[in-house]
Structure 1
Amino acid sequence: MWNYLKAKRKGAIGASVVFFVAAGVASSALAESNEEKIARAMSAAPLDISENATIMDVDGTILREGSNEWVCLPGVGLIPGDKHPMCNDPVWMRWMAAVASGSEFSTEVVGVSYMLQGDAMVNNDNPMATDPNDGGVWVQDGPHLMMLFPNKDLVANLPRDPFVGGSYVMWGDTPLWHVMFPVEAKENTN
């Protein structure tokens, strides 16, 4: 999978396209406190999940140990500097670790991730795309859930178009495919 990612994004983001990207801070005065990161990470999921979740910074540092199997992050390392929080079950954490290490991912069970504060604008077909003017289908979801499934046959009838309403497959022709479940309408700005 890592070779796939590197081939798709030669030089654009390069080695920074991993999910546990260290966020450099130019000045400690500008640095966000751990409490602020924890609060933002917790806002990604319902409180009955996030209040007992482990909170992990995007660089992998544990900010707070949890008592359930969920892990919440204050941002998504796919986009350096991103501050859209997410809360992941163990399946999604294995997916993220596989992407970060460049190894293959598979699952026998469904995986769930919450992003109730929304997400950055991304290309729905190409996870490595960086130019919203490239003619691709770009989408920025508001609050949503994401799910991983054991095989694509289970989602074969779902649309690939994020603007038809309801759930849809993101990055469907890549090893990073997953299903998006928006919980509010979005506007097509393409």
Structure 2
Amino acid sequence: MKGTNRFATCALPGAAAFFLAIAAHAEMADDKIARAMTAAPANITENATVLDLDGTVLREGTNEWVCFPGVPLIPDDTHPMCNDAVWMAWLKAVSSDGDFATDVMGVSYMLAGDAMVNNADPMARDQTDGGMWIQEGPHLMLLLPDKAMVATLSRDPYAGGPYVMWADTPLWHVMAPIEAQQPPQ
């Protein structure tokens, strides 16, 4: 009887801690899915696949969209995005230092906003470098097959309307803000 009590005294708290840890992980996954769902309109996100930043499938989807609880290129980022297949190919190319080209338009939603980034240099990390930094609010990002298509668009994120981000790099894309942003002071 003493052995049984000792087992219960030792094993039950350990088992409880184990199951609580599993529940906490599941809740964390649910939180990530909920955050990813804020990146795009519901008619996209409700059937989208949701991947964690490391590529782990959090939820299988039935449409062609893939949503993340943050930007997968930025460790621990919490700015959700939803991408079509073209943007997924772009992300793969960027993360592997590969080349990217497309013959069709690509769309990415970031309706919950973005991290602070340098508009000219995708690799910049020092906000005191003198570059033009922007923390975009809700926006769409577009990939186009030909850079000539954006020749007349501004490179200035504060000029109003769509603009070209990272214009002088192979990672160029069009940013289409939903709300106006003011330059940082």
TM-score interval w.r.t. the shorter chain?
0.7 to 0.9
The answer on 1:115 being equivalent to 2:106 is: no
Q: Which amino acid aligns with 1:95?
A: W
Q: Give the match's secondary structure for 2:140.
A: strand
Counterparts of 1:171 and 1:37, CA distance in 2: 28
**Aligned-pair CA distance for 1:101:** 1.6
Task: Spell out structure 1 runs of 4+ moving beyond 3 A.
Answer: 28-32
* Structure 1 residue aligned with 2:170: 175
Q: Give the match's secondary structure for 2:154.
A: coil
Q: Which string of whole-angstrom CA distances, capped at 9 and with x for unpartnered residues, describes residues 48-69 of structure 1?
A: 0000000000100011110000
Counterparts of 2:44 and 2:69, CA distance in 1: 15
Superposed CA RMSD in Å reads 1.5
* Structure 1 residue aligned with 2:9: none
5+ residue gaps in structure 1?
A: 1-27
Q: Which string of whole-angstrom CA distances, capped at 9 and with x for unpartnered residues, describes residues 88-131 of structure 1?
A: 00000000011112210000000000000000110000001011
Higher-RCO chain (CA-CA 8 Å, sequence separation at least 6): 1
Name whichever structure is richer in helix by fraction: 2
Q: Give the match's secondary structure for 1:63.
A: strand
Number of corresponding residues: 163
- Quote the sequence identity (%): 64
Q: Which string of whole-angstrom CA distances, capped at 9 and with x for unpartnered residues, describes residues 23-67 of structure 1?
A: xxxxx7996711000000011000000000000001000111100
Which has the greater radius of gyration? 2
What TM-score, normalized to structure 2? 0.85
The answer on 1:136 being equivalent to 2:134 is: no
* Structure 2 residue aligned with 1:7: none
The within-5 A match list for 1:1-190 is: 33-189=28-184
5+ residue gaps in structure 2?
A: 1-20
Counterparts of 2:180 and 2:93, CA distance in 1: 31
